[in-house]
Amino acid sequence: MSRRIVLVLLALAAAEPISAKTAEAIMMQTSVESPTEKRIVYPESPRVGQVDEYHGVKVADPYRWLEDLDSQQTRDWVAAQNRLTSAYLAAIPEREPIRKRLTELWNYERYTVPIQHGGRYFFTRNDGLQNQNVLYRVDTPGGEPKLVLDPNTLSQDGTIAMTGWSVSEDGKLLAYGLSSGGSDWQEWRVRDVETGRDLPDVLKWVKFSLAAWTHDNKGFFYSRYDEPHEGRPLEEANFYQKLYYHRIGTPQSADELVYQRPDRKEMGFIAAVTEDGRYLVIQAWKGTETENGVFYKDLRQPGSRVVELLDRFDAAYSFINNEGPIFWVQTDLGAPRGRVMAIDLRDPAREKWRELIPQGTETLQGVTCLNDTFVALYLKDAHSQVRQFDLAGKPLREVELPGLGSAEGFTGHRKDRETFFSFSSFTAPGTIYRYDLETGKATVFRHPEIKGFDPGRYETKQVFFPSKDGTRIPMFLTYKKGLKLDGSNPTYLYGYGGFNVSLVPAFSTPHLVWMERGGVYAVANLRGGGEYGEDWHQAGMKLKKQNVFDDFIAASEWLVANGYTSRRKLAIAGYSNGGLLTAACMVQRPDLYGAVIVGVGVLDMLRFNKFTIGWGWTSDYGSPENPEELKALYAYSPYHNLKPGTAYPPTLITTADHDDRVVPAHSFKFAAAIQHANAGPHPTLIRIETRAGHGGGKPTSKKIDEAADELSFLFNELRGEGAGEPKAAGK
């Protein structure tokens, strides 16, 4: 089970693709000539007199009407914005060459780490341009793959995705969750692995859940919410999650309610069954708080109650495995970088806990139990290290990794002598390795190859720079070898900085295209993340959230000061909490950036808690209902801090009509507000995707389209001369 539960886990019709000729006509219709340049005329966004009072402070919200996603006024506004944005992007000369190159590079075979159940190995594969990964099984690691489930057959446009799956202990049944159009809502079904046929079982209104099979293979535990009110499934706040047991072959209405907390509406549950089949382990979460609870139920005793073993919610706890009534737990209690403890259920008093693996210099990310050893994944300055310990905590060996990058996987069972892991970097996609836990030898299981791309032409380095308050911040830089530090390089700076999320070296096809064209790709490891443990996380939370923006601004200034780029050539991009990051930094320092991507961002910091799972983010942001935290939120809220008469840099806001994590109203309101406030010639556009959500399950075709639009926008705006309209190539 993951150490962290992060549910940050964060006709709205786009215009049809249009030709360059049509784009030019639309641009002519929506623009007027000024004495010096052509300015964009934006769709009308009426301002209303909505004013709210927060702890005595009156706050205007002139675009509140855009929160009504289904009103005709909002639909018309969305259609008009999409027509303008589509026309602008279609007129960029490099857009189609970029799309073509993205498609070429994206077309490579990809695998996920195999998982073994009942003597069978299960993994997903994508042949390159398939919209969704396909689930296969093999009887031996080198065997011929057999199809289990192909989500690409479920919809013509690839927008039905398999967002979760779990195999029964005997390897014969598959429980799997489907999401439509990118929504967080899932519908779970059950399939016979051998025949490929679905059973009648259908489970609805499932969200933020796994499926945990009992060892008799007769059913599984899962979590769900009550059915939302009619017409509001993508907006209504989600409270009162309940844990159920579903027995195969019975209707959902007959499912057994295992646990609920009607007194704690924000509490949710992730279930697991211990490897010996004896215990149900419940990880209880509250929003995106890293602090959680761990409860259990003895499955060998019919009618046994749920025991709230760790119920203080004072630290992060994650169940690893057990030796009978001895639970091995990873925690940051008294150890902000993590440690492993043993808890005896027969005498669970805290003073009786035993420390097995003490806190180290590096940050402990996760622990599994394999071949009667602990395999621990660490982060050292935001890149992976992996170590083995015996069950008493004695160090055995360090797993040799191919270089500076990130490792994941190492799943399996306690008696397994082998496991699999994936290793990737900024220039190499995930290679799957088979690892012998007794000898410590790793061999390549699957190695993806990208035709026409030579990773040897690029280099990655890690630098450190001081933030505003002197804190030392790490940043990865990747670019072509032989880069000249003359300030002329287009630079793409990415960040996140929140919810204990660590940014590690990761492969991305769009960033290859960026670097192929001479760009520098930079990733800053900001406070608020988990790179250096819980202390690093807390340094960017609530009243300290401004530290995150200061870190990102300092990264930007460092890149300029050290000759990697110039202000006019510097682009910033972020998504979800990262969209908040880029919007806030752009609002605070509009002079510093040449172009900005604000992706699916949290942008109205006074109303984020009103929709879907937004209430859960108060653990990181603070609550508008708290006077002191409201003051901090209001001070940086991007929607509320735009200043009319300011020249803002070129900005592309992206969102999706099915985003029920960060509802699109955030982006709608911010787009209307910046278009009203912007006094400069640069474009401030919004791209609204249809049949898509926050990002999970997005089909490959939509990923390529979105990346082509974003990269062509950035290259066009960073080119230098002029503003307010697409430039001809070469200018």
Q: Which of 406, 640, 694, 712 is the catalytic position?
A: 694
Q: Give the C-alpha separation, 526 to 137, whole Å.
A: 40
Name the residue among 293, 306, 303, 203 with its Cα closest to residue 255.
Answer: 203
Name the residue among 143, 137, 144, 142 with its Cα closest to residue 120.
Answer: 137
Q: Give the C-alpha separation, 682 to 724, whole Å.
A: 5
Q: Where are the alpha helices (DSSP H) in 91-193?
A: 95-106
Name the residue among 197, 129, 192, 203 with its Cα closest to residue 164.
Answer: 203
Our answer to whether residue 667 is catalytic in this structure is no
Cβ atoms within 10 A of the Cβ of 591, count? 9
Q: Which of 209, 576, 619, 712 is the catalytic position?
A: 576
Pair 673, 105: CB distance under 8 Å:
no
Residues 6+ apart with CB under 8 A from 21: none
Pair 494, 571: CB distance under 8 Å:
no
Dihedral pair phi/psi, residue 192, rounded to 5°: -75, 115
Burial of 289 (0-12, 13-18, 19+ CB in 10 A): buried
Burial of 340 (0-12, 13-18, 19+ CB in 10 A): buried
Query: Can you tell me whether residue 88 is helix, strand or coil?
Result: helix
Pair 59, 664: CB distance under 8 Å:
no
Burial of 427 (0-12, 13-18, 19+ CB in 10 A): buried
Q: Give the C-alpha separation, 654 to 687, whole Å.
A: 5
Q: Give the C-alpha separation, 368 to 373, whole Å.
A: 8
Name the residue among 480, 633, 464 with its Cα closest to residue 544.
Answer: 633
CA distances from 463 to 59, 382, 605 (A): 41, 12, 32
Maximum CA pair distance of the chain? 83
Q: Give the C-alpha separation, 501 to 533, whole Å.
A: 10
Residues 6+ apart with CB under 8 A from 231: 70
Cβ atoms within 10 A of the Cβ of 713, count? 27
Q: Helices 627-636 and 546-561 sit at what angle, rounded to 10 degrees?
A: 30
Our answer to whether residue 215 is catalytic in this structure is no
Residue 438, token pair as written in the block: 């007794």
Beta strands of 113-259 (E only): which ranges? 115-117, 120-126, 134-138, 146-149, 160-167, 173-180, 186-192, 198-206, 212-213, 219-224, 242-247, 256-259
Pair 243, 207: CB distance under 8 Å:
no
Catalytic (active-site) positions:
576, 694
